[in-house]
Copies of this chain bind each other. A is one copy, B any other.
Amino acid sequence: MDQIRIVIADDHPLYREGVARTLSEDAGLLVVGQAQDAPGAVELTERMTPDLLLLDISMPGGGGLQALRQVMALPNPPKVAMLTASEEDDEVMQALKAGALGYVLKGVGSRELVGIVKDLARGQSYVSPSLAGRLLAAMRGGQKAKAANPLEDLSKREEEILRLVAEGKSNKEVGLALDLQEKTVKHYMTSILQKLHLRNRVEAAVFAREHLR
């Protein structure tokens, strides 16, 4: 049986090193390339046509999610696993929706990683346990799988107002900034809170900080 050909993309040289060496120690695995940014990852994947791409989410040059989408658009896309420190449900969702086979937190042990990589290469998906639980919960709560971003429900104006609220502005100040009546801003707030299933402007501000921009 052939070796599993792997490309690693991570902007931290030392972490990349750790992963590469750990995987290389297993006879069944072969690291055929390393990239340090999103464009590099796409380019390398295209050139090396690996079986598996380990992709960090937080990378310069567009971020791992964008790289994921580009890689999946290639003629013979490899299996892709996101390897990341982030636990944002949102990003997990987006990554899996975009075609990632696995989502592995950077805290994994070396021994574990080798096992996971082999599973992934066989087409077996993998999501780190601590995430898996919350993922399932999110799906149960959100019915089918649309939980990605309720932000899309917001109109242009609503989003604009939400941004200002997230900066700590009062309704009156938002009105002043956008040349609207305070009353109108209040109406928008009500609608924003309803659409995002939030209870008050503090929750809205926090939500905006974490999901907007």
Residues of A participating in the B interface, judged by any CB pair closer than 8 Å:
11-19, 21-22, 85, 106-110, 113, 165-170, 198-203, 205-206, 209
Complex contact B166–A206 (CB within 8 A)? yes
Measured between beta carbons, the chain B residues less than 8 angstroms from A168 are 198-200, 202-203, 206
Measured between beta carbons, the chain B residues less than 8 angstroms from A85 are 12, 85
How often does this chain occur in the complex, in copies? 2
The DSSP consensus for interface residues of chain A is: helix
A-B CB proximity, top 7 nearest: A18-B18, A168-B203, A14-B18, A17-B18, A15-B15, A168-B202, A13-B109
Check A17/B11 contact, CB under 8 A, given A85-B85, A168-B202.
no
Complex contact A202–B165 (CB within 8 A)? yes
* A113-B13 Cα distance, complex, nearest whole Å: 10
* A108-B15 Cα distance, complex, nearest whole Å: 10
Complex contact B17–A107 (CB within 8 A)? no
* A198-B108 Cα distance, complex, nearest whole Å: 41
* A19-B17 Cα distance, complex, nearest whole Å: 8
Tell me the nearest residue of chain B to A199, going by C-beta.
B168
Smallest CB–CB gap between A90 and chain B, Å? 16
Measured between beta carbons, the chain B residues less than 8 angstroms from A11 are 107
Smallest CB–CB gap between A159 and chain B, Å? 17
Smallest CB–CB gap between A38 and chain B, Å? 15
Besides A13-B110, A14-B106, 17 more A-B contacts (Cβ < 8 Å) are A12-B15, A12-B106, A12-B107, A13-B107, A13-B108, A13-B109, A14-B113, A15-B106, A16-B18, A17-B22, A165-B202, A166-B202, A167-B206, A168-B202, A168-B203, A168-B206, A202-B202
Measured between beta carbons, the chain B residues less than 8 angstroms from A109 are 13-14
Smallest CB–CB gap between A36 and chain B, Å? 9
